[in-house]
Amino acid sequence: MAAIETSRGKVGFVEQGGDGRTPIIFLHGVGSDKSVWRPQLEHFARSRRALAFDYPGYGESAFVEGATRDDFAAAVLVAMDALGVEKAHVCGLSLGGVVAIALNAAVPDRSASLIIADSFAVHPDGQAIYNRSIAASSDIRGLAEARVGALLASEERDLRGDVIDTMARIDPAAYRIGAEAVWLADQRVRAASIAVPTLIIVGDEDAITPPALSEELHALIPGSRLEVIAGASHLANLDKPAEFNAAIDDFLSAVEAEAY
């Protein structure tokens, strides 16, 4: 793991692989950082350059007071510039999906495709979730311990411990900014304007961003594909990494076959 200096300050990233194929980048949720993508980086590095980024204030990225979801997207874009990534498949989970939509809206030609996992265009309970998140943010470890059962279907102790520890490391001020960026988002107009191939993934046991919200995204985004992963909750990429990766592999194979 490392960080790179950009015009928007230091941005944390991790990178694996390298190939002539279009790179893939991964964007994390509000309660995690770039490390949540380890199973995906290891898998996709076998066939292409794979990168994951931290948002401002998360992981190894510099804190930015009052940052918005658009600022998160802008930080990712300047980091892509600094690392020589002209265009990429963009995969985001939860807040990462929100940021992926914002990134595509800002500079559509930088996204070869979008993969939006366990996310939404607008959350009907967003204000209430945001209010609860802010109220609990003074004790991030306690919040993580209370939330892990909703984040993961897996009962694996080490995995749950990793998720709790990762969330517990987040600066409460950064977490509050991230919570606003995700839960108060309304990107229905942006979603309807997406013109790149889009895969929507959701765990069938996700109670935080239920499958109905992914179905709404699927209806909004022209030509999108919806994949429901059985036995996965909100962190579908960790609950069912093989199935999550396979869904993306199949999607990218179709997208890249059409491109060439």
Find the mean pLDDT for residues 53-77. 98
pLDDT of residue 260: 55
Confidence band for 20, pLDDT divided at 50, 70 and 90: confident
**Contacts for 166 with CB less than 8 Å, ≥ 6 apart:** 31, 32, 33, 35, 36
Q: Does domain 2-259 have CATH number 1.10.760.10?
A: no
Residues 168-191 as b or e (16 or more Cβ within 10 Å = b)? eebeeebbbbbbbbbbbbebeebb
For a pLDDT cut of 90, what percent of the chain falls above it? 97
**Contacts for 149 with CB less than 8 Å, ≥ 6 apart:** none
The secondary structure of residue 110, as a DSSP letter, is: G
Confidence band for 19, pLDDT divided at 50, 70 and 90: confident
pLDDT of residue 134: 97
Confidence band for 210, pLDDT divided at 50, 70 and 90: very high
Find the mean pLDDT for residues 78-96. 98
Distance (Å) of CA 159 to CA 115, 118, 220, 240: 23, 19, 34, 12
Could you give phi then psi for residue 210, rounded to 5 degrees?
-60, 160
Evaluated on CA atoms 43, 49, 55, 57, the torsion sign reads: positive
Could you give phi then psi for residue 212, rounded to 5 degrees?
-60, -30
Both tokens assigned to 44:
């996709």
pLDDT of residue 126: 98
3-class SS of residue 46 = coil
pTM: predicted TM-score of the whole model, two decimal places? 0.97
Give the tens place of pLDDT for each residue, 91-140.
999 999 999 999 999 999 999 999 999 999 999 999 999 999 999 999 99
Give the tens place of pLDDT for each residue, 170-198.
999 999 999 999 999 999 999 999 999 99
For a pLDDT cut of 70, what percent of the chain falls above it? 99
pLDDT of residue 258: 84
For the chain, the average pLDDT equals 97
The secondary structure of residue 109, as a DSSP letter, is: G
3-class SS of residue 90 = strand
User: Is 80 exceeded by the pLDDT of residue 259?
Assistant: no
